[in-house]
């Protein structure tokens, strides 16, 4: 169902959306963002582990070393 309001732009819009869908741009973008977010949280976990180790009490109970 073509929208006649858009007139001469229909073909350009159709070809652009077809290209986007064929190239799976949305899916690939989601994968990149997911990887970035996962890596960011892994980095936060590493920092938290380091802070945990630095603030761990000594065996004599005197606080951080």
> Quick check: 64 and 54 in contact, CB under 8 A?
yes
Q: Are 56 and 49 in contact (CB under 8 A)?
A: no
| pTM: predicted TM-score of the whole model, two decimal places | 0.63
| pLDDT value of residue 57 | 86
Rounded to the nearest 10°, the torsion over CA 50, 55, 61, 65 is 80
- Predicted confidence (pLDDT) per residue in 10-25, tens digit: 889 899 999 999 999 9
């Amino acid at each position: 169902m073509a929208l006649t309001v858009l007139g001469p732009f229909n073909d350009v819009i159709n070809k652009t959306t077809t290209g986007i869908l064929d190239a799976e741009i949305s899916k690939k973008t989601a994968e990149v963002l997911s990887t970035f977010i996962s890596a960011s949280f892994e980095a936060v976990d590493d920092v938290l582990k380091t802070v945990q180790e630095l603030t761990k009490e000594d065996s004599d109970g005197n606080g951080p070393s």
